[in-house]
Structure 1
Amino acid sequence: MSFSPQSRVWVYQSDRKFTPAEEMAILEKLSSFTNQWKAHGNELLAKAEIRHGFFIILTVDESQANVTGCSIDSSVRLIKEIEQEYHVDLFNRFNMAYKVGDDVVVNSKEDFETLINIKQINSETIVFNNMVQTLAELENKWEVPFKNSWHSTVFAHLIS
């Protein structure tokens, strides 16, 4: 199944890494949701995945049917259920994710600022831009160097 580069995406970042067993169970739950996800009775061409053990990504190709407010609400309800069931925070936009080697690390905004101050995070550190809205953006603008991300404007005063 191929998805248009203009497909809409939603990225939910966990505050901790899912265990392999949790990831399998969550993917099963997401899969059964995306297989029956509808907008005004029209089936949505949708998929869900977990990347790096931290990120739940929902993708909908709107070339088949457009997402509606109600269909988005149903996906948010599902994410909230996952949050409660697995005791994770998937809606905290102040948690910052970045890479150390091949590992993903998630920190609070305060800890992230401290790491910038002590030069543990620099302009080349790979950060995650969870504000991406399309599949093309997910592929090209999601994992980016700090200097090319929105983080660089928010934390500009800290990077020398």
Structure 2
Amino acid sequence: MNKIWIYQADRILSQRESGQVLERIKPFISSWTAHGSALAADGYIKHDLFLVFEVNEEQAGVTGCSIDKSVHFVKSLEQEFGVSFFDRLKIAYRDAEHVIQLVDRSVFEELIKSGTVHSQTIVFNNILTHASELESNWEIPFQDSWHSKVF
């Protein structure tokens, strides 16, 4: 089973930046280990907004130290690109034209009140932990998400 971590940027990256981040990810992934064992891992950018790490835990399990290494790596990306991947105050959703929007929580709350964001608005469920959930449970209607319980 493949475990995933989804990091959402606090702004949409340019295609050039996404490519540069991807260039940095490849060497990190190839050297990422847990207790000296190489992890069967992948890292990629989705929608110029999300950094996703995926590890096949059947080959080698992730440890606290390997997670710390990935967090340290992501923090180095933040410094290099002037972006935050740990800002939990931004909400990503798809607007009526299915374009991804990224707004502050307070703006998102106003969009709900105005009816712009409603029960069928697609939001991103970044708390997934298994790659098998990406296809069916990452982009989901607001009414089915954790967002609906918070807002």
The 5 Å alignment of 1:97-108 reads 97-100=92-95, 101-108=97-104
Q: 1:110 aligns with which of 106, 122, 135?
A: 106
Shift, 1:92, TM fit: 1.3
**Which residue identity lines up with residue 112 of structure 1 in the other structure?**
F
- State the alpha-carbon separation in 2 of the partners of residues 119 and 69 from structure 1: 42
Shift, 1:103, TM fit: 1.7
Question: 1:34-67 CA deviation, whole Å, 9 max, x = no partner?
Answer: 1111101111000011111100000001000000
Question: 1:108-136 CA deviation, whole Å, 9 max, x = no partner?
Answer: 11010011111110000000011000001
TM-score by length of 1: 0.91
**Which residue identity lines up with residue 96 of structure 1 in the other structure?**
I
Deviation larger for 89-98 or 51-60: 89-98
Q: Does 1:143 align with 2:139?
A: yes
- State the alpha-carbon separation in 1 of the partners of residues 56 and 135 from structure 2: 15
Task: Identify the residue that residue 53 of structure 2 maps to in structure 1.
Answer: 58
Q: Does 1:12 align with 2:7?
A: yes
State the superposition RMSD in angstroms: 0.9
- State the alpha-carbon separation in 1 of the partners of residues 144 and 132 from structure 2: 16
Runs of 4+ more than 4 Å apart? none
TM-score by length of 2: 0.96
Shift, 1:27, TM fit: 0.2
SS of equivalent residue, structure 2 residue 52: strand
The percentage of counterpart residues that share the same residue type is: 43
Question: 1:50-108 CA deviation, whole Å, 9 max, x = no partner?
Answer: 11110000000100000011110000011111111111121012211101223211111
Q: Does 1:119 align with 2:119?
A: no
Q: Does 1:31 align with 2:26?
A: yes
- Count of residues in correspondence between the two structures: 150
SS of equivalent residue, structure 2 residue 102: strand
Task: Identify the residue that residue 94 of structure 1 maps to in structure 2.
Answer: 89
Structure 1 gaps, min length 5: 1-5, 156-160
SS of equivalent residue, structure 1 residue 73: helix
Shift, 1:139, TM fit: 2.1
- State the alpha-carbon separation in 2 of the partners of residues 77 and 117 from structure 1: 38
